[in-house]
Chain A
């Protein structure tokens, strides 16, 4: 009797294991930098889980689909310190995860990409907007779900030109990435026929971003800084470093709107976006993370959904098959932006509409009407194939 029972239990166990073995396990890693950057506005201060929260939601979405296909997704998150070598952590992550979502600075991402190249791990850059990662420094194992600076600048430029605000006063911060953003804005002005009437630099002289009586000073400082400008329609600020741009609206010498790093900002996503079925996604995100969804969350969500889309279409968790499918001509992903998102095959950048937001509402979505392109209107945003310096390897 006991023998018979043991046999039965053994059989039951074997069956369960067989069932479990049928399910395809797909490991997704998330590699970011610990700590958050400081912003001028307290409400814009990113949460500790900025980015990875989007990946978490996409894992849930993938698993809802996965249960019908016997695919199961897991997420493993690691954070490195700001100046730490990312390679050991990335290599450890790659042991169990064939796909890694990264929110790393450009140099760290390149290190990781080169270290994991022979392993076949597929990387998704969800955080870095640097042009060079898609141009001279592009890599065959890095797919970019984050937009580029030029895509963001072009999205804004198209709208300002559509609005006939074509005389720009450009104010640039003194840090490197501010200058890169200014380059992208200058390029947008040239492409779409806007005129930069004057450029000013806002020097970062250091100091605290928040003080108990800071406003009195700013209120006197900003009008003086913006006075005696030639006639202009809109002040465009390039301040990725969060030093001054948010101080500009309502304080300029002339009564002019502000765009760029404050006022009307181009972003891949916003908590106010509710078109094209996005409300459901915003609700799901809120329910899971108890906060609203940021652009970085969306970029990570999209990356994980790209993996899920490819595993369901190929019915496989094999990294080679999935990579080939994502890079192939049949790949597209839906991301609540009113159109399918596809990859630019020459540099693995995800094509995407860019939202123009004011912090409370989505004001517009670029590409704007009338900006035409022979392949995809989404390619009116950012560097196009003929301009590209990327050679994938």
Chain B
């Protein structure tokens, strides 16, 4: 791939997905895009870029963006955010939502589904220990930019390697069925998660409000203005007592006041009431301005 082709690719990825591909990451682009080229019967990566230049909206261009933005994940990745979910978030929210008995959860970069299914497994286990919580409705929405990985996620079929990374053996035995060399997660767990394609760069306000947002290991690929924009819009869709989980290498500190870190809960953030008070007059002002027009 020529330097010119690589620059074109970087610009396209940034515009379409927010992905900031560093100049020294040409090797990564080559290793991920060679399989795409093979799949589309294209002889070289130079030809691949040339075809995208000619047809920017083609399935090839979509497959290229998806290949570059798909990242490996596994069940209960990093463990700690899931401990927070089980031990801090769910007890607090089931207490706070005693009246409407509905909790909405959003996994904003769901990839092949291990993260939303991990949350579903925690809820399922909790329901068995506390049957009174069966009166609650738990909605889990899982979104990702890449349609192909969402198809895999919906099927809930994982390789032997995938089910061994982070998934306790007791949960494998309890909630998965062995299908040849693979393992499929139980249909009642699959039914707890709704998968949908979504680009975080686009308006996601129609999705509604969420009590919990897992947005892990995606902001690290964005530039600073995009990180701030996504975090600000996330905060607008969360109630005051909501929870945001970010990846181990991500933070809101130094980026936005829309969230504040939760003391002694690494990686967990809550909407900042002070920031909301600042936003409210601005929102009123914009309504007044629109009416005046």
A binds B: no
Residue numbers of B with Cβ under 8 A of A are: none
